[in-house]
A = this chain, B = another copy of it.
Amino acid sequence: MEKRMTKRQIAAQETKKKIIEAARTVISEKSFETVSIDDIMAEAGLGKGTFYTHFGRKEDVVYELNKTDFYHLAEIVNGMEDKDIMEKLEYYCREFMKSIERSGIEICRQWIKNNLSGNTMCGIEDKDGNAISKYRYDYQAMHSVLSEAVRRGQLIADTPVDALSLLFNAELYGLMTAWCMSDGAAVGSENIKAFRIYILEQSIRPFMTK
């Protein structure tokens, strides 16, 4: 259907994309509330009025904002046939922290600020087609890793998957927050090693089948 687009429609779609990317940039640097349409459109190099050619209200751009690809870490981890649960969990946690650190401490701060309110949707839908928040997404990702391990017999059936998912995910969020609050001193990915040794291994061992 995109094939039948006229040149003008393609150009318009391009313009819309430009606005979305500009919005992503400036909202990362500041925040939705403190960013103005002027800021977005100046970044996009377009006239202020053009925003309203593509969006009805300021808020509407946010919905589009996160419609981009998430790093499907959970899928990757669950696809690791030959690894045991400890390795999987450590890999997941390490990559989670790395991907955060890659984006830089300032973007991370913005990300936390923007997601602190639960009604900020991440652009991904759950199995029932409902929009979910990034927190919910991350919780479900961790949950799927543990559930998968139960399903594969790596963890016993009685493993408190809900509680552990929440706790492990919270630890990641906490390390991320600590990283920001310590101005980078408490490097998240470096603490993953300690997390594995002192927490992950101790907490998981009671539920391992072998």
A residues with CB within 8 A of B = 31, 33-34, 109, 112-113, 115-119, 133-136, 139, 160, 163-164, 166-167, 169-175, 177-178, 180-186, 191, 194-195, 198-199, 202-203, 205-206
Contact = CB atoms under 8 A, between A and B. Distances in A.
Contacts of A139: 178
Contacts of A112: 112-113, 116, 177
Number of copies: 4
B174 A135 contact: no
Contacts of A191: 163, 166-167, 170
Contacts of A117: 31, 109, 180-181, 183
Given A166-B191, A171-B171, A178 B116 contact: no
Given A163-B194, A194-B166, A195-B167, A183 B134 contact: no
Contacts of A203: 198-199, 202-203
Contact of A135 (B113, B166, B181): B181
A116 B181 contact: yes
A84 B118 CA distance: 38
Given A113-B116, A166-B194, A177 B173 contact: yes
